[in-house]
Structure 1
Amino acid sequence: MNRTLEKLQTEITFEVRKGFPLLLSGAIIFLFFTFMPSVFSMDTVHLIWIFGLGAIFPFGILISKILGVNLFAAGNPLGTLGGIVAAPQAFYIPVFIIVYMQIPEYLPFTIGLLGGSHFLPYMWIYKSRAYLFVTLGTCLSSLILGGFFVDQAFFLVPLAISIVYGIGVLLILKELKTNLA
Structure 2
Amino acid sequence: MNTADIETLKLELSLKAKNGLNFIIAASMVWLLISYVWTLPYSAYDKSIMTFIVGAIMLPLAWLLSKFMKTEWTVKGNPLQPLGLWLNFAQLFYFPFLILMLIKSPDYFVMTYVIITGAHFFPYAWYYDEKAYAIMAGVISFGALAIGLSVTAERMFIVPLFMGIALVILSVLLFLSYQRKRKLSMQPSPGEII
The two structures share one fold, judged by TM-score above 0.5: yes
Question: Residue 103 of structure 1 aligns with which residue?
Answer: 105
Describe the shift of the 1:127–1:29 C-alpha distance in structure 2 as closer, same or farther (beyond 3 A): same
Q: How does 1:113-152 map to 2 (within 5 A)?
A: 113-152=115-154
Question: Residue 19 of structure 2 aligns with which residue?
Answer: 18
Alpha-carbon contact 1:50-1:96 (below 8 Å) kept: no
In structure 2, C-alpha distance between the alignment counterparts of 1:101 and 1:110, rounded to whole Å: 13
Deviations 1:65-113 (A, max 9, x none): 2221112223212211111111112222332122101100111221111
Report which of the two has the higher share of helix: 1
Alpha-carbon contact 1:142-1:157 (below 8 Å) kept: yes
Deviations 1:9-56 (A, max 9, x none): 111111111101101111001111111133451343121123332322
Alpha-carbon contact 1:12-1:79 (below 8 Å) kept: yes
| 40-49 or 112-121, larger mean C-alpha shift | 40-49
Output the TM-score relative to the length of structure 2.
Answer: 0.85
Asked whether 1:94 is paired with 2:96, we answer: yes
**Which runs of 5 or more residues in structure 2 are unaligned?**
184-194
Deviations 1:98-157 (A, max 9, x none): 210110011122111111111001101111122123212211221111122242553111
Identity %: 24
In structure 2, C-alpha distance between the alignment counterparts of 1:154 and 1:57, rounded to whole Å: 25
Point out the structure with max Rg over C-alpha: 2
**Which runs of 5 or more residues in structure 1 are unaligned?**
none
Matched residues, number: 181
Output the TM-score relative to the length of structure 1.
Answer: 0.91
Alpha-carbon contact 1:108-1:153 (below 8 Å) kept: no
Asked whether 1:172 is paired with 2:174, we answer: yes
3-state DSSP of counterpart to 1:4:
helix
Provide the aligned C-alpha RMSD in A. Answer: 1.9
